[in-house]
């Protein structure tokens, strides 16, 4: 029997490890096949290297992080700040969704501090929506994919939207026991230490991730370290009651009683 698949679609190398990797590790432990795709090459993520060198370094780092997670790595399709809501990117991401046939798609929050993140979320949602439409041509061409796929949105970086408003999760996933693995995967993105310090005030990107996990854990009222998720509207994706993340993770999942 083929294991069910979960596909994380994020903007840049390291985004998955910041906000989604703990949940992927939990799914892997539950018997799921996990897949990672960074839509962008990370080409602007350096103050000292050329774009070409940065692409090469960040590709190696992303592949190393995926190996640490036990995930299948998929190459991206764009450069930083060039993730646009376009037919070209929809066709490329649509082909990936049809190839993987995930029961779960994890992606960015629709509200975030950065356009690359928000547009990636839109692309992931539409590409998943079109998975069963034979008249939507993907690049490369892939046969349509049937069955339910549930899309979940991670929390934004900093846990706030672009206007500084707190974004509340619908549910929490306990990542306490897998945090060391998550941290090791994020540490594979070693080139980002200086970059994030100089450009975004993260003096230690590893500690920034830990601080976020602790903050979300406190919000849960139950878990020491957690990741937060919101389920996308199921229309066109899955049944009204489908919630495979909850079903797969059991005691490691908790609904937020304060959501809405």
- In Å, how far from its chain's centre is CA 105? 8
- Please give the pLDDT value at position 196: 58
pLDDT value at residue 260: 77
| Regions in the chain scoring below 50 on pLDDT | 202-203
- The reported pLDDT for the residue numbered 192 is 77
The Cα 78–Cα 223 span in angstroms is: 37
Confidence (pLDDT) at 198: 57
The 8-class DSSP code of residue 137 comes to -
pLDDT per position as a tens digit, 29-70:
999 999 999 999 999 988 889 999 999 999 999 999 999 999
Sheet holding 150-154, edge to edge: 72-74, 33-38, 5-10, 104-107, 150-154, 226-231, 171-174, 253-255
149 and 102 Cβ atoms separated by less than 8 Å: yes
What the chain holds in terms of domains, given with CATH numbers, is 5-255 (3.40.50.10320)
CA–CA distance from 219 to each of 20, 43, 55, 121, 223 (Å)? 17, 34, 36, 24, 9
What span, in angstroms and rounded, lies between the C-alpha atoms of 256 and 148? 24
At 204 the pLDDT is: 78
Residue 159: other Cβ atoms inside 10 A: 17
Q: What share of the chain is helix, strand, coil (3-state, %, to 5)?
A: 45, 15, 40
What pLDDT shows up at residue 255?
97
φ, ψ for residue 256 (rounded to 5)?
Answer: -85, 110
Position 203 scores a pLDDT of 47
């Amino acid at each position: 029997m083929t294991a069910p698949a979960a596909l994380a679609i994020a903007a840049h190398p390291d985004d998955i490890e910041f906000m989604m990797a703990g949940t992927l590790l939990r799914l892997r432990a539950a018997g799921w096949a996990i897949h990672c795709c960074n839509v962008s090459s990370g080409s602007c993520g350096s103050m000292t290297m050329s774009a070409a060198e940065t692409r090469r370094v960040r590709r190696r780092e992303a592949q190393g992080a995926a190996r640490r997670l036990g995930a299948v790595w998929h190459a991206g399709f764009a450069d930083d700040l060039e993730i646009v809501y376009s037919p070209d990117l929809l066709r490329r991401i649509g082909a990936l969704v049809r190839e993987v046939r995930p029961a779960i798609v994890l992606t960015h929050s629709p509200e975030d501090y950065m356009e690359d993140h928000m547009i990636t979320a839109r692309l992931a949602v539409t590409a998943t929506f079109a998975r069963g439409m034979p008249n939507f041509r993907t690049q490369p061409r892939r046969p349509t994919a049937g069955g339910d796929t549930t899309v979940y949105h991670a929390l934004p970086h900093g846990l706030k939207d672009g206007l500084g408003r707190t974004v509340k999760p619908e549910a929490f996933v306990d990542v306490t026991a897998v945090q060391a693995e998550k941290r090791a995967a994020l540490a594979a993105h070693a080139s980002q230490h200086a970059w994030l310090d100089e450009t975004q005030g993260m003096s230690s990107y590893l500690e920034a991730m830990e601080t976020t996990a602790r903050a979300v854990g406190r919000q849960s009222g139950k878990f020491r370290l957690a990741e937060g998720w919101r389920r996308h509207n199921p229309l066109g994706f899955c049944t009204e009651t489908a919630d495979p993340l909850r079903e797969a993770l059991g005691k490691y999942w908790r609904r937020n009683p304060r959501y809405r």
